[in-house]
Amino acid sequence: MIEILSTPPFTSVQDLGREGYRSLGIVRGGAMDRLALAAANLLVGNAMGEACLEIEMPPVKIRINHPMRIAVTGAYCEVLLDDTRLAPWSSFPVKAGQVLHITPGRSGLRCYLAFSGGGLDVPEVLNSRSTHLRVGFGGYEGRALKAGDRIAVRNAIENRKPVKPRFGIVPAQRFLRNARHPTAQPGDVVLRVIPAAEFSLFTSESREQFFEEGWKVTTLSNRQGARLEGVFLEIKQKTEMRSHGIATGVIQVPPSGKPMIQLADANSAGGYPKMGVVIEADLWRLAQARPGTVLRFSYATNEDAHSAQREQDQFFKGIKWLLEYRQLIS
């Protein structure tokens, strides 16, 4: 059992989301930073998709009521277990009654907290324990968490065996190579983008500007989508489009001429022209982009997307190898 002592407004229970229901209007949802959630689970010995806490812009305080192992990944945050300072992207044992305090760090927007034993024990809805905050189902009572909430951890009683010392891994931000962009400045986030069906409908100048200019993440961004500020993207001729299926990562351009990127809790269909789609392997970078961050888009192909995914798979293999190695020497 864990107890939420204090939390920002948007802390929620998330896993890797719901697959296979988009035709019914139910999007995948789940963690915004799927890579960080999967890594946190691996670090405590869980399967990659177990239910964790997604904490958007800490601080948060949580009391752990059973001995277990926990891990914190995602944003670079300050992590305190009682009075002991711990590194992010690390896995460590906790005793019953200890308090975990996570405060904002120097970069990133969301951190992920995983619990050994099989993750948080909330009901499965449509094969997932994730919270769909926009619709209000799944997770813990279909809502964001608040002070006083108490959530069970699966197999917490069986999890009372002795645990190994704390250890950490190289964060994904350092392990995975950034895509390159000729005009990127320090602090910019470069995302690889594959042109979409309506790319050719935009003027040649707008197509060039899309890949050349910087795009600032606005404060209107949320789990539904990232709204961007930048130059006006102009379509050659106004076109009426019927709503059609869209996926996470799709970049739509509404009449305002300012692009928006569909994220975890986006609509399952839309009718705005699509400029491109951010490759799946780069969506975690977007999930960690704070308002004010400048994004730059790099032209990508399907092979680029596959290559980036293979690199990400190697990151996970490295974590699994580390755990196997630790068991051999323990």
As beta bridge partners, residue 64 has 2
Tell me, what amino acid is at 313? D
Chain-wide mean pLDDT for the chain? 91
Q: What is the mean pLDDT of residues 156-175?
A: 74
Tokens 């002070």 sit on residue: 147
Query: d(Cα 316, Cα 299) in Å, to the nearest integer?
Result: 26
Question: Of 169, 188, 155, whose CA–CA distance to 91 is shortest?
Answer: 169
Q: Which domains does the chain have, with CATH numbers?
A: 2-169 (no CATH), 189-309 (2.40.100.10)
The model's pLDDT over 285-300, given as tens digits with 9 standing for 90+, comes to 999 999 999 999 999 9
Reading the block at residue 246, the tokens are 């869209």
The reported pLDDT for the residue numbered 330 is: 44
Map residue 248 onto helix, strand or coil.
coil
Is residue 176 within a helix (H) or strand (E), and if so which, with residue range? none
Reading the block at residue 328, the tokens are 């051999």
Tokens 């076109």 sit on residue: 239
Torsions phi, psi of 11, nearest 5? -75, 135
Map residue 100 onto helix, strand or coil.
strand
How many CB atoms neighbour CB 177 within 10 A? 8
Tell me, what amino acid is at 204? S
Query: d(Cα 4, Cα 220) in Å, to the nearest integer?
Result: 27
The model's pLDDT over 99-149, given as tens digits with 9 standing for 90+, comes to 999 998 788 999 999 999 999 999 999 999 999 998 899 999 999 999 999
